[in-house]
Each structure stands twice: as structure tokens, then as C-alpha cells.
Amino acid sequence: MKQLIFPLAALVIGLGCTSPASVPSHEGVIVHLFEWRWDDVARECEEYLGPNGFAAVQVTPPVENHIVEGRPWWESYQPVSYGFETRRGNRASFESMVARCDAAGVDVIVDVVLNHMADADLEHEGDAVFTGRGTGGSSFGPWDYPEIYDHDDFHHCGLTENNHIWDWEDRAQVTECELLGLSDLDTSSPKVRSTLAAYLKDLASMGVTGFRLDAARHIAAEDIDAILTESGTEGYVVQEIITGGRTEPWLDSYLALGNVTDFAWTEAIGEVLRHRTWAHLKPGGWFWTSRQYIPDAQALVFVDNHDRQRGHGGEAAINFKDGALYELAQIFTLAWPHGRKRVMSSYAFDTDFQGPPMDDSEAIVPVYGEDGPDCGKGTWVCEHRWPSIAGAVAFYNAVEGPVTDWWTDGEDAIAFGRGSTGFVLINGTDAVLDGRWQTSLPEGAYCNRLNSDGCMAVEVDAEGRLAARLPAMSALAVDVASTQSP
């Protein structure tokens, strides 16, 4: 990486900034508080998410799940019943959380599993021993979930030797065979559709305003449509669909139903920042032509999620373990006008299998203690509270319009504007970046949204030129709502 020197440096003084503007909740930033307990989510809505402009929180499935020995994270995605007894809380604490978040101006988006129930054959898988017991006390067996489903309520596709998906390009296998041995619900069945619709309706009755449909690619689009229609719920819907970077014709029927997870973005941003240069992010450059992206109005965009940060689906996405590189990836993603944004909030982990932090009784360790949130101390990571990421959320809320004033050094430093509303400068090099950049901002003194200690003052002159001095692997973002207070 080469050093690029320009003649001017910015002043650094301690002044305040004006409050961030807000955006409609259906367009605002989502934070995924992965495996947080309901009382912790409620408190975070009140004390941090609402005051800092987060529009919505995505929560782990509030459904009785299979107890797997060792308590891996993925047991939360193996439903046993549609009861609310989980390690994160019960029905009363969930309903209270939704109400408290709503009062704080934060929507609740629930991760729902409509495709399958818990493992069908109860076989050992690695270190996991399948117990046939649920977190609410239910017992179950292969394709048998008492008082809910029996053998005839599931797909038994007959297309492969063991009824598992073998060919991921075969739509019949993908939608009718078992995903990793999980009992695949026959979502074309009126009984199954009505049961799933009733669950969604129950969630909506408590104030839930959005759903992330787990494994949506494995459910026929017409079945999703029928379930959503029967539920009568209205609100935000995002479908988890991995496209492999290709928008195949079958995707159109899902796009008609709601947003779709844009994994192509996750894959491409990881490849650029790990193996290429930031200059490849140039409009029309490699980043934009290497893959087919979900259309802007229907895309949910993210740097990482709970699967990809563990290496599922290929090389591990850029995640909190990458430190400054992760911060810069989040800043670019939040600042660039494509899709709705979601920020990950993790717990520390060493292995793919590892579940959320727990005590000797296997209860999830609370995030909030007597001294406030246990964030960044080796247990709960809380990336959404990192000053650079929270500041990028504020920038997102304040800007609008297309990309303007693109600049790059040809390698690992870039800058771009959002018309007359904001400007971002990212130094991904290993040297100081010192200079002046053309913007479309009004003349004035601005505060860097991404600074963690007071106001890093940034001056824009009468010709719209911004002067700054940035250390290696850092960034600045200024906008018309981050002008210095009088």
C-alpha cells in the first residue's frame, strides 16, 4: 500500500454535534442482538437503540427448541413446539420486551422458522447428542411433535437415498427434501399452513412488526405467500435466501413477497477487503460486476451474520475478530445507498458449535449487570455499540441521495459523497492520509460522526473542499446534521 500525502490537515477540537436526523422505521437500520435474553433486549431498546437511532431489533426465534447437549447456538433454530419457553425467557418476558421496545421507538423483527422442525432422525452429529427434549419440557421423536405435527405433516421427498438435499441446484430437492436432516414441513398442507399462520398471528398480536423467514429458499414461494396471507399480518418481511451471487428466475416470486437477504454483498465485501483493494469498490468496478445483487428496494444488506461469521457457506465473512477492517467494512456498507442495512451484535466464540455464554446451570448469562452492559469484555461483543459503527448508523439516518464525488488513490483509500447531505473518507492503508477532497457539502464546520472522543472538527471551505488528516485504518463521516453546535 502506498502513502498518499496532501497539503492540509484538519483541526481537532472538542465541540458537540447536532442530533442525528431520523428515517422511517421500514427503512432504518436493524441490529441483530443474537441470542440476547428478552429482558436485556428490552433494556437495550430503552437505553441505547432508541436514543441512538436504530430502527429495529432482530431477535432469536422465540420458540421452544430442541435441547442439544453442549447447547450449540443452532439449537435455537430447531423448533419443538410454538410455545415461548426458551433460555431467553418466556411468553410474558417476550411480550414485555416487545412493548418496551415499541415505547422506545424500536420495531421488533422476529426470526421465525417455518421450513422445518427439529432434527428428524435424532442421530449424533459431531459433538452434539440429540436428546428428544424441548426447552419447555416437550418430548418428541422422528417426525412426531405431539399435539402439533405427525409423520404425514412432513415432506418425505423420495428424491435422494436419505431424503436429504444433495443437489442444491435442484429446486424440487431444495424445497421438498430435508435441510441437514431437519424435519421438513409440508408447507403445501392446509393444516401446516394454518398452524404456521397462527404462530405469526400470535406474534403480531403482541406487537411484533416484522419477520425474518429463516431458510426461506427451502419453502416454495407460493407456500410463503399462502402462510403470510392467512396470518393476516402486515409489516416488514425479509426472506433468508442464499443466491450464490446469481439472481435466478425463480427468485422473482420471492422478491414479490418482501425483502431478501443479499448474501452477494457479504461475499463481495469480504473478498475485496481481504484479497483485493478498496479501489475495486469504485462505481462500475469489480465489486459491482462480480456478482448479481438483490435489487436495491428489496435487499437486506449486511457485512456478516450469525452463520457467515462462523464460515458457513464458504470463507468466514469479515467479522468482529478483524477489528479495524470490520469497522471500515461496516462504515462503507452503512454509508453506501443500497438496500436496508442490518448490523450484527455477537458474543465471543472460539468454535462453530459454541452457543451463547452460559452459567453452570446452562442459563444464558445476562448482558446487563449491576454496572451496566457487559460489552467488549470478552463475553458479549456488542459491535453495534462500537463508536464507529454507531456513528455510521447516525450518518445513515442523516443522508440521502446518490453517490457523488467519488475518489480513490487507486489502492486502499476511497472517498465519496451523498450529494449535498454527507461525505465519507476511508483510509484502508497502513499510512497516514493527509489532504483535501472535493465534496458537495455546504461550507461549514462539521463533526466526524465516527470519532469516539468528542468532536473531531472537519472544515469544508466555500468551494466545498474538505480538509482532513486520517491515521491508518480509520475513517471519517460528516453530514449536514453533524455540524458543530454554536
pLDDT one-digit tens code per residue, 284-324: 999 999 999 999 999 999 999 999 999 987 788 999 999 99
Can you give the pTM of this predicted structure?
Answer: 0.93
Q: Which three cell numbers stand for residue 81?
A: 413446539
Q: Does residue 246 surpass a pLDDT of 70?
A: yes
Q: Does residue 417 surpass a pLDDT of 90?
A: yes
Catalytic residue among 35, 85, 214, 322: 214
Q: Residue 123: pLDDT band by 50, 70, 90 thresholds?
A: low
pLDDT one-digit tens code per residue, 186-230: 999 999 999 999 999 999 999 999 999 999 999 999 999 999 999
Q: What is the pLDDT of residue 13?
A: 27
Radius of gyration of the chain (CA): 23
Q: Could you give the percent of the chain with pLDDT greater than 90?
A: 87
Q: Which three cell numbers stand for residue 434?
A: 493527509
Q: Clarify whether 222 is annotated catalytic.
A: no
Q: What is the pLDDT of residue 27?
A: 82
Question: Using an 8 Å Cβ cutoff, are 221 and 158 in contact?
Answer: no
Question: Using an 8 Å Cβ cutoff, are 334 and 424 in contact?
Answer: no
Q: What is the pLDDT of residue 316?
A: 81
How do 56-59 and 107-113 pair as beta strands?
A: parallel
Q: Which three cell numbers stand for residue 422?
A: 454527507
Measured torsion, CA atoms of residues 162, 168, 172, 178, in degrees rounded to the nearest 10: 40
CA atoms within 13 A on the CB side of 427: 21
Catalytic residue among 153, 240, 271, 322: 240
Q: What is the pLDDT of residue 21?
A: 40
Angle between helices 387-398 and 324-335 (to 10 degrees): 10
Question: Residue 320: which residues within 8 A CB-CB, separation 6 or more?
Answer: 309, 326, 344, 346, 381, 383
Q: Does residue 55 surpass a pLDDT of 90?
A: yes
Question: Residue 40: which residues within 8 A CB-CB, separation 6 or more?
Answer: 33, 366, 367, 368
Q: Clarify whether 248 is annotated catalytic.
A: no
Q: What does the alpha-carbon distance between residue 300 and residue 210 come to, in Å, rounded to a whole number?
A: 13
Q: Which domains does the chain have, with CATH numbers?
A: 30-398 (3.20.20.80), 404-479 (2.60.40.1180)
